[in-house]
């Protein structure tokens, strides 16, 4: 059975839980006390992931780190139709990879602001918020351009692993004091993702709420 090294409040772990649920693939979690235990920095955990980061997935002895890599692996292995990761069309592949890479930009900025505000991590929160707004402007412009051509997802006319990868730390941005109010394309895209069949919640991402407007 698949094992996911997991922390419930981690948006990167949530990407994997959400996608496994969509795929209908059974898994078990191995809880890692990210906070306050900082267990991901221990030698035992670094033997599993020398980067000291969550998530990590163990599929019958194949151990893989990095949320975007895990999403690509799971799609390739468990979604034979290629619905979530079109590897046959070079353009679709390129677009999906481009937005998968962009997900790390969102983690580095929006997630950092949330770690500062919610868990008290010592980092430059103003730089993190500024970086998140720069990333969200790019994302919002792209999503509005997509709407103009009748495509409602990051990499084309259907949801892909790129949407799953970028979603959590955009949805969680208000927890880091980042106001989503002016990003109209983003807000409509967040609502579309929440309406996907097999959507699951995580702490801070709930079905019943519209995206809150955080104070700056």
Q: CA of 16: how far to CAs of 49, 64, 65, 116, 168, in Å?
A: 16, 12, 11, 23, 11
Q: Which SS3 state, helix, strand or coil, does residue 205 take? A: strand
Find the DSSP H helices in 79-195.
90-106, 112-119, 125-148, 161-171, 184-194
Token digits for 196?
């996907």
CB 87 within 8 A of CB 148: no
Instruction: Please say which residue, 16 or 92, places its beta carbon nearer to ligand GSH.
Output: 16
Instruction: Please say which residue, 67 or 132, places its beta carbon nearer to ligand GSH.
Output: 67
Angle of helix 161-171 relative to helix 125-148, nearest 10 degrees, comes to 130
Minimum gap (Å) between residue 53 Cβ and ligand GSH: 3
Q: Residues 12, 109, 146, 160: which binds ligand GSH (CB under 6 A)?
A: 12
Q: Which stretch binds ligand GSH (CB under 6 A): 7-15, 118-126, 177-185, 201-209?
A: 7-15
Chain positions 25 to 84 lying near ligand GSH, rule: CB under 6 A, are 40, 52-55, 66-68
Binding residue count for ligand GSH, defined by CB under 6 A:
13
Minimum gap (Å) between residue 107 Cβ and ligand GSH: 5
Site for ligand GSH contains 6 (CB under 6 A): no
Residue ranges that bind ligand GSH, judged by CB under 6 A: 10-12, 40, 52-55, 66-68, 104, 107
């Amino acid at each position: 059975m698949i094992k996911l090294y997991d922390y419930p409040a981690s948006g990167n772990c949530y990407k994997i839980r959400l996608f496994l649920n969509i795929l209908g693939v059974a898994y078990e979690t191995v809880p890692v006390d990210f906070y306050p235990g900082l267990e991901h920095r221990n030698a035992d955990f670094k033997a599993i992931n020398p980067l000291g980061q969550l998530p990590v997935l163990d599929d019958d002895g194949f151990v893989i780190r990095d949320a975007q890599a895990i999403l690509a692996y799971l799609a390739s292995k468990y979604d034979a139709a290629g619905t979530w990761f079109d590897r046959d069309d070079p353009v679709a592949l390129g677009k999906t990879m481009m937005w998968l890479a962009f997900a790390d930009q969102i983690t580095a900025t929006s997630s950092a602001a949330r770690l500062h505000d919610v868990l008290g991590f010592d980092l430059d929160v103003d730089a993190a918020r500024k970086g998140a707004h720069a990333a969200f402007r790019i994302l919002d412009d792209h999503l509005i351009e997509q709407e103009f051509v009748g495509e409602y997802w990051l990499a084309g006319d259907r949801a892909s692993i790129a949407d799953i990868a970028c979603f959590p730390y955009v949805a969680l941005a208000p927890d880091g004091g980042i106001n989503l109010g002016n990003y109209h394309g983003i807000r409509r895209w967040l609502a579309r993702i929440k309406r996907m069949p097999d959507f699951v919640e995580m702490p801070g991402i709930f079905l019943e709420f519209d995206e809150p407007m955080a104070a700056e």
